Structure 1
Amino acid sequence: MITPLLVIVVILAIAFDYINGFHDAANSIATVVSTKVLSPFHAVLWAALFNFAAYFYFSDHKVANTVAKTVIENYITIYVILSGLIAAICWNLFTWYFGIPSSSSHTLIGGFAGAGVTNALLSGATAADALNLGYVFKIISFIVLAPIIGMVISIIITLIIVNLSRWSKPATAEKWFRGLQLASSAALSFTHGGNDAQKVMGIIYVALVANGVVSSSSPMPEWIPIVCYTAISLGTMSGGWRIIKTMGTKITKVTPLEGVAAETAGAITLGITEHFAIPVSTTHTITGAIIGVGVTKRVSAVRWGVTINLLWAWILTIPVSAILASIVYLIINIFI
């Protein structure tokens, strides 16, 4: 049944998707802006275009299915979803304001799981009863694995490119790589849209299931992916300049060649994880890739102090989001 609360939850989910877009815009365009291949305005338009283009390719919604199954269906209510969304939006806005490239994906999953666990505990069950641990362990493991995979692939690509182009004239190589960076940025934006929009699709779908609008065995209504891809694209067009500064300049100085390597590595990693239905963090992935291109120059080229601060944000995202969602759920529970 469609209720006013369900409508509010869907609106909040779309709002989160929009915030995800401008929060994570830096992932797709930080290097292309920092190397001055595109102006910030043209870069966000470029990224938004390929964010939405992912709608026409990623039709299996495997990542959305993983997110939807994070919490056992018995403990999913409309209030659980509402609490998770409120917590995720608050943490995303907080990290955006301070220019911290945290994971929107893990914020959403942490909030959803935290509210689900609280609901289970209030019902006399345990946290383990509320969570589909196989999916949870997969998601948590890739907090570590995604940036490492991105870093390793970027190192390999950088070394291959450097060796292939070592006899080229610097001016000619620069021109080529500035052009190639448009393609690598497009690829990263494409896979970013395909991975991140699906996470909100999964949340909206479980909200519909929780309210009895569709059954859990029904296919996802087509309006959900259209709305989610549109929202994340519009969010990307709004930019995320605080985080772009961190990603594009504070971790390491990036040249067009290194931008191509980092973005290509990020796109490959996201493509692989999407194929295996793993909702990884685009932020973690591209950060690892940027660190990789810095390391190929020399270890000291990476500003490790900034990187360590980012790692703390990554570690804290899921538990902080879960705690926030738990508090919100407890407050809501007082009034219902």
Structure 2
Amino acid sequence: MEHITLLLAIVVVTALVFDFTNGFHDTANAMATTISTGALKPKTAVAMSAVLNLVGAFLSVEVAKTISGGIINEEGIRTEVIFAALVGAILWNLLTWLLGLPSSSSHALFGGLIGAAVMSAGWSAVNGSTIVTKVLIPAVAAPLVAGLAAMLATKLTYRIGAKTDEKHTAKGYRVGQIASAGLVSLAHGTNDAQKTMGIITLALVTGGVLAPGSNPPMWVIVSAGVAIALGTYLGGWRIIRTMGKGLTDLRPQQGFAAQTSAATVILASSHLGFSLSTTQSCSGAVMGAGLGRKGGVVRWSTATRMFVAWGLTLPAAGLVGAGAEFLTKQGPWGIAAVAVVLVGGSAVIWSLSRRKPVDHNNVTADDLDAEPAGVVTTAIAAVTPPPAAGSVAAVADEDLKTTIPAPVPTDPAAPPAPAAAV
């Protein structure tokens, strides 16, 4: 690491920031259904997911190699291109998190990378065949396959439990949900944490620290795993709410089927080096589970907004990445300007999110605007002034509190006298 320049260090830190946003943006993938069905408490669920994300980061590097040496040509790409790509990906992640839309962090990264590379060196810098076979085709196939598998699995679980009491069956599936949620978290670590490993490795190659085609160094694997785990622990509560309550109303049987189907698709793709969107896979599985239950519904208005976000992710992040790269080409002042845009944009989005916060306390609430009765009562008491001294209200208040104890009767047979109020 002794050859890392200041610019390269900034790029590595920015990549880890993206990894952090990826973690809290995609927590919903593993834990939205588990939380919405009550299988785990919200904070317990995200803590479990964080640990398994960290473990999953060490299981494979196939996806990292796809990112570092497959999507764009390493030769002739400057380190500033990676920085510009990350800016586009981070800002899109934060914007969709603010809106509660489960868009793809992976495609945000790909879009930023493609846009910045094209702005830097033209279309020849992009490997079109790799993008089609390992990005676009999985993007279309993964949610369809996961959704179909979840729908069939849901039908099967209800058929198996048709002659048993649904309440007792639900308890068993809640246990299964915990196991399947852990599997999704592990799969998420094997796929999404590797994307940051790949982007850092690519930056190290462009900076001359590593030879082209190198595997991620151990310190890159560790730092990427820790960053995504920390982001996961914070919990992307807005997106958890959308996936857990906004798309469909899930029961434990459906949650188990959705998570198992999504985990299977993600793990198989990671083994093949396909850098698919875990968000799209899990969202497709949730919709499939919603359709698989008799009487189940999918809220297509929410799904439509989600589909639009999916379609916009690559081009939107690409445009931001291209604009950022245009600025970095102007020299040091351009790089500084891009950094200011990143920090300022992130701050604005964060401040907007505080107007109606979503956290582990209200993530499953039916109405975010409704306050619990105790909170309302306490708030009214806090703003109601006490009665002025000597006023009728004050005297009445004191009268209600003050009594004279009854005298002890001299005759034991006599009944006690009632207390007299003053």
Common fold by TM > 0.5: yes
Q: 1:2 corresponds to which residue?
A: 4
The answer to whether the aligner puts 1:152 opposite 2:148 as a matched pair is yes
Q: CA offsets, 1:3-32, max 9 Å, x none?
A: 000000000001110110001111111001
SS in 2 for 1:100: coil
Matched, 1:192 2:193: no
The CA deviation at 1:312 is: 0.5
What do residues 210-258 of structure 1 show as CA deviations (whole Å, max 9, x unaligned)? 1111111433211111111111011000001111110000100001110
Alignment TM-score, normalising by the size of structure 1:
0.95
In structure 2, the residue matched to 1:136 is 131
> Which residue is equivalent to 1:118?
119
For residue 108 of structure 2, what is the aligned residue in structure 1?
107
Distance 2:45 2:220 in 1: 26
Trace 1:1-336 onto structure 2 (pairs within 5 A). Answer: 1-56=3-58, 58-59=59-60, 61-68=61-68, 69-121=70-122, 127=123, 129-138=124-133, 139-297=135-293, 301-335=297-331
Q: Do the aligned partners of 1:44 and 1:236 also contact (CA within 8 Å) in 2?
A: yes
Secondary structure of 1:325 counterpart? helix
Q: Contact 1:198–1:228 at 8 Å: present in 2 too? A: yes
**TM-score of the two chains, using structure 2 as the length reference:** 0.76
Bigger shift: residues 286-295 or 298-307: 298-307
- 2: CA distance, partners of 1:282 / 1:294: 18
One-letter amino acid matched to 1:219: N
- Structure with the larger helix share: 1
CA distance in 1, matches of 2:287, 2:215: 40
**For residues 239 and 33 of structure 1, what CA distance do their matches in structure 2 show?**
11
Shifted more, 178-187 versus 162-171: the winner is: 162-171
The letter of the residue matching 2:98 is Y
Gaps of 5+ in 2: 333-422
Q: Which has the larger radius of gyration?
A: 2
- Give the alignment's Cα RMSD to 1 decimal: 1.3
Whether contact under 8 Å (1:181, 1:256) holds in the other structure is yes
The question of whether the paired residues in 2 share the 8 Å contact of 1:143 and 1:314 is answered with no
Distance 1:155 1:300, change over 3 A: closer
Give the counterpart letter for 1:17 in structure 2: D
- Number of residues of Structure 1 aligned to a counterpart in Structure 2: 328
- Could you tell me how far 1:299 is from its partner in structure 2? 8.0
Asked whether the equivalents of residues 52 and 185 of structure 2 are also in contact (C-alpha less than 8 Å), the reply is yes
Letter in 1 for 2:131: V
SS, match of residue 73 in structure 1 = coil
Q: Is contact 2:64-2:216 (8 Å) kept? A: no
Change (3 A) 1:39 1:300: closer
Query: Which whole-Å deviations, capped at 9, do the CAs of 1:108-165 have from their partners, x for residues lacking one?
Result: 11101110011113xxxxx1x1111121102012221111011011112112212222
Q: Which deviations, in whole Å up to 9, do the C-alpha atoms of 1:44-70 show, x marking residues without a partner? A: 0011111112134x23x1111111220
Larger mean CA deviation between 100-109 and 74-83 belongs to 74-83
Read off the aligned partner of 1:168 and give its amino acid letter: T
Structure 1 stretch displaced more, 110-119 or 158-167: 158-167
SS at match of 1:110: helix
Amino acid at match of 2:26: D
Alpha-carbon separation, structure 1, partners of 2:156 and 2:255: 14
Instruction: Provide the rounded CA distance (Å) in 1 between the counterparts of 2:57 and 2:311.
Output: 30
Give the structure, 1 or 2, with the largest relative contact order (CA under 8 Å, sep 6 or more).
1
Deviation at 1:37, TM superposition (A): 1.2
Q: Which runs of 5+ in 1 are unaligned?
A: 122-126
Structure 1: how far apart are the matches of 2:320 and 2:164?
Answer: 54
